[in-house]
Structure 1
Amino acid sequence: MGPENQTYVSEFLLLGLSEKPEQQLPLFGLFLSIYVVTVVGNLLIMLAIGSDSHLHTPMYFFLSNLSFVDFCLVSTTVPKMLVNIITHSKVIFYAECLAQMYFFMVFAFLDNFLLTVMAYDRFVAICHPLHYVTIMSPRICGRLVLISWSISLLNSILHTLMVMRLSFCLENKLPHFFCDISQVTKLSCSDPLINDVLVYFAAGLLGILPLTGILFSYSQICSSLLKVPSTVGKYKAFSTCGSHLSVVSLFYGTGLGVYLSSSANHSFWKTSVASVMYSVVTPMLNPFIYSMRNKDIKDAIRRLINKMPHYH
Structure 2
Amino acid sequence: MSDDGRLGDIEKRIAALDDPSALLRAIDDLPDPAARGDEASVRLGIARGIVLNRLGLPESALKALQQARALARDIGATALHPAISRETSRIHIWRGETASAALELMRSVVEADAAGNPGDTAAAVVEFGRLNLDTGRYEAALDAFALAAGRIEMLPGREESRLPVNQREALLALGRYDECLDGIDAMIAALPAGYGRDNFVARVIKARCLAAVGRDDEARAAEADARAWVGDHPSSYERAELALLEGFLNRKVDPEATIARVERALDRFVDDDLPRHEFDARILLAETLAGMDRRVEAEACIVEALRRAEDRRLPAMADRVRAVAVGFWRPAMIAELSPEDRLSEDGG
Pairwise same-fold verdict (TM > 0.5): no
**What TM-score does the superposition give when structure 1 sets the normalisation length?**
0.28
Higher RCO structure (Cα 8 Å, ≥6 apart): 1
**What TM-score does the superposition give when structure 2 sets the normalisation length?**
0.25
